[in-house]
Amino acid sequence: FGLRIIGTVLGAATLLSSLGMSLGPLAGGMIYDATASYHWLFIGSALIGLGAAGIAIAFPPQPSRQKLQMA
């Protein structure tokens, strides 16, 4: 990301992280109470992790500093 929007990107990442940390235990407890098993919690966590990895892989690689200095 460019320097112009880095504050917005970091703010959004912090917001989503905070929401996950605050609502995750509540949602996990509700799922456990409804199913009496951690199975679906592990499946959900794995899917979220795979989704995050997919998003990270979707971004194009940044050119190295050496290539930028040569240009």
DSSP letter string, 27-71:
HHHHHHHHHSSSHHHHHHHHHHHHHHHHHHHHSPPPPPHHHHHH-
What per-residue confidence (pLDDT) applies to 57?
93
What per-residue confidence (pLDDT) applies to 47?
97
Q: How many Å apart are CA 63 and CA 69, to the nearest integer?
A: 10
**pLDDT tops 70 at residue 12:** yes
Convert the pLDDT of each residue in 24-66 to its tens digit.
999 999 999 999 999 999 999 999 999 999 998 998 877 776 6
**pLDDT tops 90 at residue 3:** no
What per-residue confidence (pLDDT) applies to 17?
94
Please state whether the predicted TM-score (pTM) of the whole model is above 0.75: no
